Structure 1
Amino acid sequence: MDESGPILIQSCSKGEFANEQGYGIFSRAMVEYARYWTHQHKNMYEILNIVEAFNGACNLFQQWITNYNSSTGQKVEQTPQISTISTNLPFAVNIEKPL
């Protein structure tokens, strides 16, 4: 994947819905993976690239979904996607502390 241009990350594939529980679960996986990565890579000059962040978050996310399916007996399927895009899109994350 060419990371020199805009990247689009979606929490699910077309035809699926995002398994949200009051917050973006895949967005949470991205943040949690980045937090894990910073603990493993203490060198301040290392950079977590977007593809590595996405892949790490997908692995974490799939573990969560598998555990959720096992504990509830449900079959939730959600497949996050990453792709390059030709349009500039803004990026924002609003993290609110739960009450």
Structure 2
Amino acid sequence: MNILIEHNPSSIRLSDLGVMSWPKWSCQPGKYALVFEEKETCYLVKGQVKVYPKGSLEFVEFGAGDLVTIPKGLSCTWDVSLFVDKHYKFDPPT
């Protein structure tokens, strides 16, 4: 699935990345079908998510305090069990 999760990155790492200046996105609990047109890096301030790639029963789980990199082209379902509040950025197209 190639979703990379860095659990509890240091405040120095977050500062170096400029995470707190990234846009924010939030959503209520529920299931959301998503397609990532670009590589996304996000930092969850709040929440808990299970990500199921399209057509798979396997999942990756992450939550508050995690820095997550989602690959370009991933088609998946986000099963949000706790309200999500995240900072995010998309990598520019190559």
Task: Indicate the TM-score class for this superposition, using the shorter chain for normalisation.
Answer: under 0.3
Q: Determine which structure has more spread, i.e. the larger CA radius of gyration.
A: 1
- RCO higher in 1 or 2 (8 Å CA, sep ≥ 6)? 1
TM-score when scaled to structure 1? 0.22
Larger relative helix fraction: 1
Larger relative strand fraction: 2
